[in-house]
Amino acid sequence: MSEQFQKQPFEIEINLPVRTYDIDFAGIVNNIVYIRWLEDMRLEMLALHFPLDEQIKNGIAPIIVQTRVDYKQAIRIPDTPCGRMWIKAIDSLRWTVNAVILVNGKVAALGEQTGIFVNLQNGKPIRVPKELREKYQEYDVSPLLSNGEILVAKAGKPADPSF
């Protein structure tokens, strides 16, 4: 994994295996696979920091409302991509995660997802759970600077401004 990125809030890193069924007619990983990889990364992050089974027991669940993927280079069957995901922002109702997919240390794709939490009984949006907001605030993440390019993390070093 490349060392060029600063550790971010809730950051996870996983290998993303390329399967034969992931390849499209052009011989590259199909664009929908990237969406699955984002889900795989998000589920890993939840398992470590805010387990989904606990959320369901409490009658809530995260729902994706927007997904964006910027494809930078094609991934092929012999490649061994690695994915990183972290929480970019949490406010009272929404949360945003960013992701990067790397192959041999080079960016193959950038992803961003925005989501909300819903009450499972009525399907209505709820506030981001206090436990998650407080855990995120422990990272002491500062907002974007006025130029919108640099996010300053607790260590005082620039974070990855991929979006």
CA atoms of 22 and 40, how far apart (whole Å)? 14
Residues in the chain: 163
Q: Is residue 111 part of a domain?
A: yes
Supply the range of the domain harboring residue 18.
12-137
Q: Is residue 162 part of a domain?
A: no
CATH of the domain at 129: 3.10.129.10
> Could you read off the pLDDT of 82-137 as tens digits, one per residue?
999 999 999 999 999 999 999 999 999 999 999 999 999 999 999 999 999 998 98
Our count of domains for the chain comes to: 1
Other beta carbons less than 10 A from residue 85's beta carbon = 26
Q: Is residue 144 part of a domain?
A: no
CA atoms of 40 and 4, how far apart (whole Å)? 23
Mean pLDDT across 149-160: 41
Q: In this structure, are residues 123 and 115 in contact, taking their beta carbons and an 8 Å threshold?
A: no
Provide the mean pLDDT of the chain: 86
